[in-house]
Structures are given as C-alpha cells and as structure tokens.
Amino acid sequence: MSHPLLSLVLACTLAAAPLAARAQGATVAFGGLQQDTSLPVEIQADQLAVNQADGSATFTGNVLVGQGEMRLSAGEVRVEYGPEGGSIERLHASGGVTLANKAEAAESVEAVYTIASGQVVMTGDVLLTQGQSALSGQKLVIDLKAGTGVMEGRVQTVFQPGGSVGGGAGSE
C-alpha cells in the first residue's frame, strides 16, 4: 500500500473506533412507550395460580397485560405483590415477551417490569422496532416514565432512509 492510501485507511479505522465502542450500548428514545405507571394494570390469561406463601400469582397461557396504551404479552407472567398484598410491585414475564405501544414494539425472551420505578428490563435476543427501523441486542432497559431506554450487548441496527431509531441510536 502506498503511504497516502495507508494513511487514509488508518484515519478511517481510527474514526470508526468510537462508533464500534458505542455499538456496545445505545441510548434510544421511546416516546411511544412513555407510560403513566400509576394507571391500573389489567391482566388476562388462560390460567391463574396463586401462591399464598410468597404472595405471588402466576398467569399462564396467552397472557396479556395492559396499562394505559401499553401492552405486554407473554407465555407466563408472575406477579409479585407488595407487603400488604394489594399493590403490584413487579411483573416477571417469560416465554416470548412482546411490549408494544403505538408504533414501537420490543421483543425478548424475558422481561421484568418494576411498577413503582416504571423500569422494564428485557433480556435475551431483544429486538426493538420503531416504525421501519430496528435495533437489537441482549438487554434493553426502558424507563417508561421518561420515555427513554438503553440497549446493551452487541447492539446492531438497521436504519431505513428517512427514518431513525429513537432520534439517534448511540447518541448520549
């Protein structure tokens, strides 16, 4: 390689290095998934098992959870109630989880939704679609109150011309 060509290749490689590092974690906006976490949580399922010993309930078979405009579907959802048994603290969803609202949807193997904080942690082969754009990774942490999230674990994305993922994947 000639010296000018080597310099160009080296410059391009160094310029791309910060982008590769950022690909490990991407911050994205979730305007469509912003949610009022004080709204009632509705659950539908084929079956319900209640465990009085640990204060939990497990819904199985075509589980659909609704809160406002947000929908979560899964094969199984375990509900953890608060110390007084009246309020829901956490939802543990597994068996092919989909979280959707308006034009945004996220899929994963498992998800944990902590109601009070409005945080949803989705893990295992996570795929986020926003319009025609897609973003994938191994872990997605969504703050429903703020309408933001962070994708982690070998993040990959596909941008459609004229579209964007959350107004700037990889932006901080």
Query: Which one, of 57, 156, 61, 165, lies nearest residue 103 by Cα?
Result: 165
Q: State the pTM of this model.
A: 0.74
Rounded-to-integer distance, Cα 26 and Cα 112, Å: 20
- What pLDDT score was predicted for residue 5? 29
- What pLDDT score was predicted for residue 163? 53
Rounded-to-integer distance, Cα 150 and Cα 99, Å: 15
Per-residue pLDDT of the chain (172 residues; tens, 9 = 90+): 433 322 222 233 223 333 333 344 556 665 556 677 888 889 999 999 999 888 889 999 999 999 988 999 999 999 998 877 678 899 999 999 999 987 789 999 999 999 989 999 999 999 999 888 889 999 999 998 888 889 998 899 876 676 555 544 444 3
- What pLDDT score was predicted for residue 26? 57
Structural domains of the chain in order of their starting residue, each with its CATH number = 24-158 (2.60.450.10)
DSSP string, 74-95: EEEEEEEE-TTSSSEEEEEEEE
Count of positions (residues) in the chain:
172
- What pLDDT score was predicted for residue 150? 92
